[in-house]
Each structure stands twice: as C-alpha cells, then as structure tokens.
Amino acid sequence: MPATDSVMFSIALIQNPVAQFASARGLTFMRPLWASWFSSIKDLLDFHYLDYDTASSLATNYSAQLAIDAYKSGSDDYVDIVALTARQVMGATVFSGTPDDPILFLKEISSNGNFQTIDVIFPSFPFFLYTNPRWLAYLLEPLIEHMLSGQYPNKYAMHDLGYHFPNATGHADGRDEYMPVEECGNILIMGLALVNSLIYDTSAAAGSVWSHLGSQSFDPNPATSAFSLKNLETRDGVFGLDDSWGGSTKGLKQARKWVTKSYRLWKQWTSYLIEFSLRPHFQLSTDDFAGPLQLQTNLALKGILGIKAMSQISETIENEEDTKYYKNISETYISKWTEYGISRDGSHAKLAYHWYGSWTTLYNLYADTLLCFHLEGTSSATSSPLQNSNNNQTAQRVLRSRFNP
C-alpha cells in the first residue's frame, strides 16, 4: 500500500437518552442535542465522516491558538498541561436539550461520579470562558432550572444535581454534600464572569478570541433562552457555527435577559452568604478530602467575593439599591476578614480564624483577580503569604498546614 494512502476509523459512543433530569416539568429523559438535527444515528455518522476534514481543521486551529496562549502564560510544560486539561474537561461533558434551550451535562470524573457538581464546574470554568463562554451558560442552566422550580429545599446553592451520572434526579430531601458557602460563592462568581464575558466593545476586548465571530442578532422575547442555537450560521463555507457571543450590539441585552430570568435565585444565594460567610460554621470546602472545619479563612474569602459579585450582577440590570447594598456589605466583610484571617504579624493567612500558627494558600484570590475586584485587604494584607508561596519550595507543594508533616 502506498505511503500516501490512509484509512479513518471512528469509535462512537451513542447515548440516548443522555440522562434523566429533574427539570422544571418533572423527571425527563433527555435526548442528545444532535438528535435535533439528525433523525437517525446513520444520518449522524454520515455527517461525521463527510464533515471530518472541516472538523479536523477547526480543531487544529483551536489547538494551535491554545498552545500560543498557554506558552505566553508559562512554558512548554504548561502548554502540554493545558492541552491535556482541555481534552479532559470536554471528555467529561455531553450536550443535551434542544436548539431553543441547550444544556451541557457534566460528570464528575476521577471521583465518585456526581452529576453537575458546582465545585467541579468551578475549576473548569476558565476553560469555558476561554473556549466558548456559552458552554458555561449551558452548564449552569440545569442547576438554575432545577433550583428555580423549587425542587431543592435549601436556601443555599446545591452541591450537585444527582449522586451519580446519568441520574440528575436532584436532592428533594436537601441532603446533598454539605458545602453551602462554597457552592453559593462559586455560582455567583461564575455568574458574574459569564455576564462580563458578554460585555465588550471590540473584538480585541473579548475574553475569547472566537466570541465576536458571527451575527449580532438578538431575540428580546423573555420566554426564550438568551443563548439559543436556533440560528446556526454558515461562514467560510462551514455550516453549523454559533452566532457571536455578546458584543457591543447585543451583549448587555443578553446579560440582562439571562440575569432577570433567575434574579431571585441570585439574591437568595447572596442572602445566605451575608448571613453565614463571614464566619463559616463547621462545613466542607471544595477541599473535601480534608474534612469539615469551621471558620476557614479561604472559604470565607470565597463567600465575600460572591457577595461582591452579586453587587455587579445587580448593576447589570440597573438595580441600584441592590448594587449599593451588596457592595457595602462585601467591603465591610473584607475588612473584618483581614482582621480575622491574617496572622498577627501580617506575614500569612491562617487556615482558620481560631487556628493560630496555621497557614493556608489563598487560591480563592483567583476570582478577585479575574473579576478585577481588588478588594481592599486582599492585596496588601496577603502580599507576604503569596510571596512566601513563590519563594518557599515546601509551600509550593503543600496546600495548607493541616497536611504539613
């Protein structure tokens, strides 16, 4: 056989239904999103083979851009880490819903298989902001729909949609894994990040280099999704491409439409943080392998950042009263947090307010930087511990003093 000849093999996983989901209309067997365009598996596979060259070209272009941007932030090793991470994140997801209301489901992998876990979505959301922010909206949608329907009894954000994929049957008894401050902070931070990704004036200012591509059409109907896939486009001879994500013409309109639909939930979660985040009681954080602990410094920080995020979510829909209220509380709390959580000599952050001699890595400052908050106290009061983490090899390896041998 000549060396120039090649043959293509495919391994296909066809999952129909994708999951059972406790949606607003009740327990629903969810079809895969592809079924909205292809009437049979054969039609899907025919398209797959005929579209291979186009899909391969788009994937190659994406991988090349990802490598360029990863190298700017790190090194050759970091390029490899990011390339692997991007594939792992997408490998844990499956598209469902309809073009009118798309959904992206996520299975918790390398763990217990929990379904749509908020504090698993959270460490992956920078990937979605970079690649396609609308996919982050599709990830949050089933959580918002389920909690908005009243099927979850607690006032804080739920940990996950179900104990094990593919059963997104919820937790009607409210006994999901107990991470109330963690999950409220996470979803509020991601909500604002999503809103911010929509609002930009020029293509250079877009958070994703692909966001500006496509039309600026907008459907003002409040009953429809702010991010539907009804109007797929053909560009450069390629069919089935998304329209633009946000932008100067429609971005703020999309953000307002999305926030308004579920605004009472965002307020509910923020109210919980106002009551319980400054001095968190005995509970888990996303470091659940460490077990529960009260008065966690890093966890309290996430809750305060969630309150601050809500002030800007409120600003998006021009609710001046809420904007001022949440802003003032976040500023008051961060001042108290500095007093409670930073060591007496100002050299480092404590693992817990009452645990003198302990220390922790304040990785929740990532949200402070991403959202450009720069809350008073998060820079000056924590500059020393961050510098110590950069200069101390042990600090780079150990998350916090609770596990320091």
* Interaxial angle between packed helices 118-131 and 133-148, expressed in degrees from 0 to 180 and rounded to the nearest 10: 150
Give the pLDDT confidence score for residue 377 in this predicted structure: 64
Tell me which H or E stretch contains 168: strand 167-168
Contact 96, 103 (CB under 8 A): yes
Higher pLDDT, 110 or 40: 40
H or E segment and range at residue 52? helix 52-73
Model confidence at 391, pLDDT cuts 50, 70, 90, reads very low
- Write out the DSSP string of 186-233: HHHHHHHHHHHHH--SSGGG-SSTTTT-S-------TTS-TT--TT-E
Residue 345 in 3-state DSSP?
coil
Q: Kindly give the interhelix angle for 297-316 and 251-261, rounded to the nearest 10 degrees.
A: 110
What pLDDT shows up at residue 139?
Answer: 98
pLDDT tens-place string over residues 46-90: 999 999 999 999 999 999 999 999 999 888 999 999 999 999 999
Q: CB of 279 within 8 A of CB of 183?
A: no
Strand-pairing partners, residue 233, are: 241
- Report the pLDDT value the prediction gives residue 375, as an integer from 0 to 100: 79
Percent of the chain with pLDDT over 90: 82
Q: What Rg do the C-alpha atoms of the chain give, in angstroms?
A: 22
- Location of structure tokens 């982050």: 136
* Per-residue pLDDT, 402: 59
Residue 8, pLDDT > 90, answer no
Instruction: Compute the Cα dihedral for 304, 263, 219, 30 and give only its sign.
Output: positive
Cβ contacts of 149-157, under 8 Å, gap ≥ 24:
149/23, 149/24, 151/22, 154/180, 155/268, 155/269, 155/271, 155/272, 156/180, 156/181, 156/183, 156/184, 156/269, 156/272, 157/118, 157/183, 157/184, 157/186, 157/187, 157/269
pLDDT band at 401 (very low <50, low <70, confident <90, very high): low
- Residue 12: band (very low, low, confident or very high) from pLDDT cuts 50, 70, 90: confident
The H or E element spanning position 387 is: helix 383-391
Residue 4 clears pLDDT 80, i.e. is over it: no
pLDDT in tens, 38-54: 999 999 999 999 999 99
Mean pLDDT of 351-358: 94
